[in-house]
Amino acid sequence: MCRDGAAGFAQAVTDADPTIVQVTARWHLWHGLVETVWKEAGAHSSCWAEHGPPLRDGKRAESTHERRQQVHGLLGTGVSLLECARRLGLSLNTVKRYARHDEPERMIRAPNYRPTLVDPYL
């Protein structure tokens, strides 16, 4: 029997007839594999930071570093993420992004753009 990964369905098939061979559908197998790879890659993304794009310099890097210090300073005093966003005039998602990174170098990376159709004409 070809099925998804639901444990309740597997138990029902086993209860009905223990001799039935159960296999996972191709789509569910690939879907589970892709989810696992994404989780592992995300968990180890900080390991790859040193091999990423070069660091930026200038005004934008300074403001990023300054905002990160402000967010971590407020969070260190016990202020919530939402209150931090209100005090600094930033969106909640921006504050979460600053709070997530311990090292400021991870925030100041240059963007890595994908190729576009007009690249040959630049």
Local confidence pLDDT in tens for the 122 residues of the chain: 887 778 888 888 889 999 989 888 888 889 889 988 888 877 776 666 566 555 567 787 788 888 888 999 999 999 999 999 999 999 999 899 888 887 766 666 656 677 888 888 87
CATH topology assigned to domain 54-107 = Arc Repressor Mutant, subunit A (1.10.10)
Reading the block at residue 37, the tokens are: 């790879």
pTM over 0.75: no
Rounded to the nearest 10 degrees, the angle between the axes of helix 92-100 and helix 59-76 is 90
pLDDT in tens, 62-87: 888 888 889 999 999 999 999 999 99
Residue 68: what pLDDT? 87
* CATH 1.10.10 domain residues, the chain: 54-107
Q: Cα separation of 24 and 15, whole Å?
A: 18
